[in-house]
Chains A and B, each alone.
Chain A
Amino acid sequence: MAESILPAITVAPARQPAGTPPILIEAQNLSLFYGAAQALKNISLSIGEKVVTAFIGPSGCGKSTLLRCFNRMNDLIDNVRTQGTVKIAEQDINSPEIDVIELRKRVGMVFQKSNPFPKSIYENVAYGMRLQGVSKTSELNAAVEESLRQAALWDEVKDRLHTSGLGLSGGQQQRLCIARAIAIKPEIILMDEPASALDPIATTRVEELILDLKKDFTIVIVTHNMQQAARISDFTAFFYLGELIEYGATAKIFTNPAKKQTEDYVTGRFG
């Protein structure tokens, strides 16, 4: 289904932390306007392949908006204007030649509020593959099982694959959404505060899952929970009021940030 990722390209902009993986997503001077209000101000950042990158910052600072630029979900909103470029694997995803449908098959998304379809668990996971024309039962069965295993949900639902997805608990529903997203083997998974609506136990399981998934997928996660970012991410970007304040290895951001604003935020002085 998915093609292999192009080989790494060495770039050395100021934003690139040392000892880094190859760059997969690159934003250059990206600005976004909702009508007259500017939500993103001149963001430039490079996200590495097969690592977990966290976007942190207080509410309304643009983290989710930036995330949604990567799979062009902002296209669905009226009155949105962007400037600058977003490149995934060196291709400008906003250029008219790009088929946004294909883009979304390669860049998956998990939402803050879990949104399983009112279908069976099996059909939820199989949805994406059916879209792409896969109809052989054996193929679908295999893919559904693999995705559910990867999402650490298989053991809990293997006996009730054909019951409604809505009958699961909150945490299980979110893992179902993750399974659904990874079933079509995207290269990138974007997660918009995936655990914010879950209880602590469910949150832990989702976090363990993310650490597991990064072997195969590039993950970008938006979170307002700093401890979570510190626990699971390799790189962290701190945003404030639409600007990228600092970006670097998670360890450095949380223990020895370069900017005072970052330090104030991570130590809880505001936010």
Chain B
Amino acid sequence: MISTATATHAANLPRHGRRRFRAARIDWASLVGTGVTGFATLLIVTILAVILGNIVINGLPYVSWRFVSTGTATDMFDVNKAGILPMIFGTTARVILMTLFVLPMGVLTAIYLTEYARIHSPFTRIIRSAVNNLAGVPSIVFGLFGAGFFVRFIGHGMDSAFHSGGATVWGQPALLWASATLAVMTLPVVIIATEESLRAIPQGLREASLALGATKLETIIKIVLPQAVPGIMTGAILAISRAAGEVAPILFTGAAYYMRDLPKSLHDQFMDLGYHIFILSTQSPNVDKTRPLLYATVLVLLCLTFMLNIVAIFVRANMRKKMRMLH
């Protein structure tokens, strides 16, 4: 027997008639909401397309083999004669050197955080905090740090120690210092990517290894690290891609506007793609004449960073697929 209250309540619900599940009126809020947010997404994609499109259209005609494989002998602003090989070389050199510095530091730190650290110890939280903070430091501050610490402090120190005649060899902007500065800047990227891949390894594998009588170190070296290699690679590639495009940190630590020869040693300065773009944009005598050159250089830099990014995305997706097999 249905109580009167229920009966009244039932009577008050909207009657839908025969088509019981049709909506009574249009849900404007949802339509607008979905429309606006979808439009925002589309807008972002459009912005990306416009920027890329503009660069590709204006730059592609001027990118030639000669362009990327020769140096600038005479006029840096002449489209037909300029070449960006020294810039490509400089960018590549500093990025490779940076990787040599940052990979060991970053991977070891990530190993500590995932395998050894106690979860609730204050130390762990401080390290995590420091890593997150480093990730947010402005790139120009890294430039200042590189100038104040690497160039002036360590560089000068090295000069006083090794070249007591007063020669300035290390105490000035150099390839070594620019790479070190970039290593400091990309450290969080490597740490976070490595940590992600270490965490994705199921705990069961470690337990199985330990239950067979392996030590923690043996477990890490034989079981954990081999599985983490794709993640580490992702981190390295992302770091490289980010560092290749950064200009602010190398402004005072090693980038040069013009150098006759390629850098021959770690204490030489170097030319750089990003820096070159900056100089061409802001200091060329005739902007219209330089425009094609600018676009071509930008296109090359963009290709470089994008290729690296895409490779990283693939490696990461592959790794995730393989990890799912383990679970």
A and B touch in the complex (CB under 8 A): yes
Interface set of A (CB-CB < 8 Å, partner B): 71, 73, 76, 78, 101-102, 104-105, 108-109, 111, 113, 115-118, 127-128, 131-132, 166, 177, 180-181, 184
User: Residue B211 contacts which of A71, A113, A118 (CB distance < 8 angstroms)?
Assistant: A71
Q: Is the CB of B205 within 8 A of A73?
A: no
Q: Is the CB of B120 within 8 A of A104?
A: no
Instruction: Give residues 144-164 of B contacting A (CB, 8 Å).
Output: none
Q: Is the CB of B213 within 8 A of A105?
A: yes
Q: Is the CB of B209 within 8 A of A127?
A: yes
**What are the residues of chain A within 8 A of B222 when measuring CB–CB?**
127
User: A35: shortest Cβ distance to chain B, in Å?
Assistant: 11
**What are the residues of chain A within 8 A of B325 when measuring CB–CB?**
118, 166
User: Residue B119 contacts which of A71, A78, A108, A115 (CB distance < 8 angstroms)?
Assistant: A78
Chain B interface residue number, banded: 20 to 34
Q: Is the CB of B204 within 8 A of A127?
A: no
User: A232: shortest Cβ distance to chain B, in Å?
Assistant: 21
User: A88: shortest Cβ distance to chain B, in Å?
Assistant: 14
Beyond contacts A111-B208, A117-B209, A118-B325: 10 other A-B pairs, Cβ-Cβ < 8 A, are A78-B118, A101-B213, A101-B215, A105-B213, A116-B208, A127-B212, A128-B213, A131-B212, A180-B212, A181-B211
User: B226: shortest Cβ distance to chain A, in Å?
Assistant: 8
User: B210: shortest Cβ distance to chain A, in Å?
Assistant: 7
**What are the residues of chain B within 8 A of A116 when measuring CB–CB?**
208
**What are the residues of chain B within 8 A of A105 when measuring CB–CB?**
212-213
User: A177: shortest Cβ distance to chain B, in Å?
Assistant: 7
Q: Is the CB of A78 within 8 A of B326?
A: no
Q: Is the CB of B204 within 8 A of A131?
A: no
> In the bound complex, how far is the Cα of B208 from the Cα of A115, in angstroms?
7
Interface status of B207 (Cβ within 8 A of chain A): yes
Q: Is the CB of A104 within 8 A of B210?
A: yes
Interface status of B218 (Cβ within 8 A of chain A): yes
Q: Is the CB of B213 within 8 A of A132?
A: yes
> In the bound complex, how far is the Cα of B325 from the Cα of A177, in angstroms?
16
